[in-house]
Amino acid sequence: MVSFGIDIGSTTSKCILLRDGQEIIGSSLVVGGIGTDGPRKAVQQVFEAAGISPDEASVSAVTGYGRSSWKDADFQVSELTCHAMGGRFIFPELRTLIDIGGQDAKAIALDKSGMMKNFLMNDKCAAGTGRFLDVMATILQVSVNELGTLALTAQEHASISSTCTVFAESEVISQLASGADRTAVMAGICDSVATRTATLAKRVGIVEPVCISGGVARNAGVRAALEKALGVKLLYSELSQHFGALGAAVYAYRKSGAKSE
Amino acid sequence: MSMNELLARFHDVAANPSAQMKKYLAEGKKVVLTAPVYTPEEIIHSMGLVPMGAWGGDLVLDRAKEYFPAFICSIMQSILELGMKGTYDGASAIVIPSLCDSLKCLGQNWKYAVPGIPFIPMTYPQNRNNEVGKTFVKAGYRRVAADLEKATGAVFSEEALAESIKVYNKHNAVMRKLDEALASHPEVTNAQRSDVYKSAFFMTKEEHTVLAEKLLSALNETPASGKVKIVTSGILCDAPSLLESFDALGFQIVADDVAAESRQYRTDAPEKPEALDALAEKFAAMDNCSVLFDVEKKRADLIVKTAQERGAKAVVLVLTKFCDPEEFDAVPVRRACEAADLPFVLIEVDRQMADLGQARTILETLRDSLNA
């Protein structure tokens, strides 16, 4: 049995195909989320990647901010539930998941059995999210991934004290104008995201193992800064950005009985 | 009237406060606006005036920003906005209590922004439950009565106040009964439940008591069905899209600790030789509210106890953005819920939220975790 999960985010669309609730047989990631052609392209790509037709997926679930706009799925699930399921699929002992997406951040605490026992979302604010990194990368004329990699080479860390993206943008420009080292500024930007996210994560309670998911998880600079801010080792998977879609596929598989009844 | 007809009536009133105000004005009555959170409505009522709740509305803030900074309670901002835009025109006065810093700002701004509707302050003490506090409250009530006489030409008397206190105590009792009854009637949606409470601000208490009693009788005839029971807490929980989410996700509000809802009806004025003393005693006895000083934060335990008694599966704190008193209380409420193993979620709202996407995600996740 093949279950299909799609995560329609604010900036990207992700899909996962899962066989018998155990084996990932296809994944896709397309830039373009809610209100774009991204979801449709992501669906097309995941079935091409798996070499199966859409008819072969017997059950599906949609998650992410764009979930209510996608009418083709059997189930609609919140992204927190899906990220928790996806994280637990990859890291079976997982107890804390930190998700940093394009427009928000979430922290989820799981009990020993994997049940969600607490969760928090940040306020609707660009600070501490992928959007913050996008803005800063644009100023520094690097890609978001380069920003993270270069930040790791910094000898010093600049201090970005503003919590607001708009003010932080001015602060970064001022620092660059004052001759601050670019990598130090990049490290400061990663620290800023990490500090804000760590505050959120500490409020749900940090219990190891801890993993990071979402698009920002791919940023090595933020991962390093967050490990330092939390004082724990962060688990990371190449599929971290797909945890929402993966969780949706797991959810769909588990609920497949309900659909067939 | 059937239950649905009664609920439709509550909705009409709750959704059209301006029409209610026009109706009372057309009947030759004078209307006095009452701002959140607690105003001595009994005094207004006793003088033959109609108290009309002024809790703002879900509208775009434009002119209020001439007086308020951006990061302040949207309830206060929207009250001023409606005043400046003429929505309250025809009212003879507005009584604004001093129960939080934002309310104090509202009162001071009102004087200049809406000069056509006289501002009457009601200054409450922090320490209310001692003789000095009660004397202070009584003096404040005397001032409100005197200001009302000046603004409306109506006359205050202790005898009339004693009668009005009876009217309000009766309404309180009916609302408490209704609150209990609604907990076992999930067929009444959360939006309809909100209408019952909201409409009470826009009707005379005599009229609302009659309707509420009729609803109580009608409720007894309807069967119950299962939903996920929750308790709500906060200042205001009337945003249509939020209530729609509660309903769509299968939640039933079985009790609330909401300032605009049940908190209004918890405390009666006792019998006293002087009616103003009775009213001051009532304020002294009021408790379990973020704007009523309580160093022990007993409210947190009350929320947990209420949730347990009503069989609620979770507590949802609907936090009005930039409401300092509620933000201070959010921590002890969360801790009390955690200690009782009662799931707790916090949703931030304001008067301008057209999109409640994040709130919906939080509620969906809560539902998923409760159903897991």
Q: Which tens digit of pLDDT belongs to each residue from A42-81? A: 999 999 999 999 999 999 999 998 898 888 899 999 999 9
Is there a single domain that holds both residue A50 and residue A103?
A: no
Tell me which chain A residues have a C-beta less than 8 angstroms from the C-beta of B365.
Answer: 78, 80-81, 116, 119
Nearest C-alpha of chain A: how many angstroms from B241?
15
Higher pLDDT, B312 or A11: B312
A8-12, A163-167, B70-74, B231-235: lowest mean pLDDT where?
A163-167
Give the model's pLDDT for residue B356. Answer: 78
A150-164, A209-223, B99-113: lowest mean pLDDT where?
A150-164
**Contact (Cβ atoms closer than 8 angstroms) between residue A162 and residue A168:** yes
Nearest to B361 among A115, A117, A121 (CB): A121
Tell me which chain B residues have a C-beta less than 8 angstroms from the C-beta of A80.
Answer: 361-362, 365, 368
Is there a single domain that holds both residue A122 and residue A231?
A: yes
Q: Any CB–CB contact under 8 A between B220 and chain A?
A: no
**Residue A194: half-sphere exposure toward Cβ, Cα within 13 Å:** 26
B158-192 tens-digit pLDDT = 999 999 999 999 999 999 999 999 998 999 999 99
Is there a single domain that holds both residue A105 and residue A222?
A: yes
Nearest to B355 by CA among B264, B239, B226, B201: B239
To the nearest whole number, what is the mean pLDDT of chain A?
89
Tell me which chain B residues have a C-beta less than 8 angstroms from the C-beta of A77.
Answer: 364, 368
Is B364 within 8 Å of A121 when comparing Cβ atoms?
A: no
Nearest to A190 by CA among A230, A236, A235, A144: A144
Rounded distance, CA A110 to CA B300, Å? Answer: 25
Helix axes A130-140, A144-151, angle to 10 degrees: 80
Is there a single domain that holds both residue A58 and residue A172?
A: no
Is there a single domain that holds both residue A27 and residue A136?
A: no
Q: Any CB–CB contact under 8 A between A78 and chain B?
A: yes
Nearest C-alpha of chain A: how many angstroms from B345?
8
Higher pLDDT, B298 or A257: B298
Q: Give yes or no for residue A258 having a pLDDT over 60.
A: no
Taken as a whole, chain B contains a residue count of 372
Residue with tokens 């934002």: B102
Most B CBs within 10 Å: which of A10, A34, A63, A78, as the mutation test of the B interface?
A78
Higher pLDDT, A118 or A127: A118
Is there a single domain that holds both residue A110 and residue A52?
A: no
Give the model's pLDDT for residue A118. Answer: 87
Rounded distance, CA A207 to CA A217, Å? Answer: 19
Is B368 within 8 Å of A65 when comparing Cβ atoms?
A: no
Q: In what order do the strands lie in the sheet with B314-320?
A: B251-258, B228-234, B314-320, B344-349
The pLDDT-based confidence of A259 (bands split at 50, 70, 90) is low
Q: Any CB–CB contact under 8 A between A166 and chain B?
A: no
Rounded distance, CA A62 to CA A247, Å? Answer: 10
CA B2 to chain centroid, in Å, comes to: 26
Higher pLDDT, B297 or A103: B297
Q: Any CB–CB contact under 8 A between A220 and chain B?
A: no
Domains of chain B and any CATH numbers? 14-159 (3.40.50.11890)
Residue B246 region, left (φ>0) first, then alpha (ψ -120 to 50), else beta?
alpha
Cβ under 8 Å to A: B residues 10-29:
none
Give the model's pLDDT for residue B1. Answer: 86
Annotate chain A with DSSP letters as a single string: -EEEEEEE-SSEEEEEEEETTTEEEEEEEEE--TTSSHHHHHHHHHHHHHT--GGGEEEEEEESTTGGG--S-SEE--HHHHHHHHHHHHSTT--EEEEE-SS-EEEEEE-TTS-EEEEEE--S-STTSHHHHHHHHHHHTS-HHHHHHHHTT-SS-------SHHHHHHHHHHHHHTT--HHHHHHHHHHHHHHHHHHHHHHH---SSEEEESGGGG-HHHHHHHHHHHTSPEE--TTGGGHHHHHHHHHHHHHHHHHH-
Is A115 within 8 Å of B372 when comparing Cβ atoms?
A: yes
Is B364 within 8 Å of A116 when comparing Cβ atoms?
A: no
Classify burial at A206, counting beta carbons within 10 Å of its beta carbon; exposed 0-12, middle 13-18, buried 19 or more. Answer: middle
Is there a single domain that holds both residue A81 and residue A103?
A: no
Is there a single domain that holds both residue A167 and residue A112?
A: yes
Is A81 within 8 Å of B358 when comparing Cβ atoms?
A: no
Nearest C-alpha of chain A: how many angstroms from B178?
33
Nearest to B348 among A116, A119, A123 (CB): A123
Q: Give yes or no for residue A125 having a pLDDT over 90.
A: no
Q: Any CB–CB contact under 8 A between A113 and chain B?
A: no
Is there a single domain that holds both residue A81 and residue A16?
A: yes
Q: Any CB–CB contact under 8 A between A121 and chain B?
A: yes
Nearest C-alpha of chain B: how many angstroms from A100?
15
Classify burial at A56, counting beta carbons within 10 Å of its beta carbon; exposed 0-12, middle 13-18, buried 19 or more. Answer: middle
Give the model's pLDDT for residue B221. Answer: 63
Element spanning B27, H or E = none
Nearest to B367 by CA among A135, A80, A10: A80
Classify burial at B273, counting beta carbons within 10 Å of its beta carbon; exposed 0-12, middle 13-18, buried 19 or more. Answer: exposed
Rounded distance, CA A102 to CA B183, Å? Answer: 40
Q: Give yes or no for residue A199 having a pLDDT over 50.
A: yes
Is there a single domain that holds both residue A10 and residue A58?
A: yes
Q: Which amino acid is at B132?
A: V
Is B361 within 8 Å of A78 when comparing Cβ atoms?
A: yes
Give the model's pLDDT for residue B222. Answer: 60
Is A123 within 8 Å of B368 when comparing Cβ atoms?
A: no
Is there a single domain that holds both residue A45 and residue A152?
A: no
The pLDDT-based confidence of A261 (bands split at 50, 70, 90) is very low
Is there a single domain that holds both residue A105 and residue A171?
A: yes
Give the model's pLDDT for residue B84. Answer: 97
First to last CA, chain A: 16
Tell me which chain A residues have a C-beta less than 8 angstroms from the C-beta of B244.
Answer: none
Phi, psi dihedral angles at A210 (to 5 degrees): -120, 135
- Find the domain containing A189 and state its range: 93-236
Low-confidence ranges of chain B (pLDDT < 70): 220-225, 354-355
Q: Any CB–CB contact under 8 A between B372 and chain A?
A: yes
Is A77 within 8 Å of B368 when comparing Cβ atoms?
A: yes
Tell me which chain A residues have a C-beta less than 8 angstroms from the C-beta of B348.
Answer: 123
Nearest C-alpha of chain B: how many angstroms from A80?
6
Q: Any CB–CB contact under 8 A between B70 and chain A?
A: no
Using CA coordinates, name the residue in chain A closest to B342.
A117
CB-based contacts of B190, cutoff 8 Å, min separation 6 = B243, B246, B247, B251, B252, B253
Residue A157 sits in a domain whose CATH number is: 3.30.420.40
Phi, psi dihedral angles at A8 (to 5 degrees): -100, 105
Give how many domains chain A has, as a whole number.
Answer: 2
Q: Which amino acid is at A41?
A: K
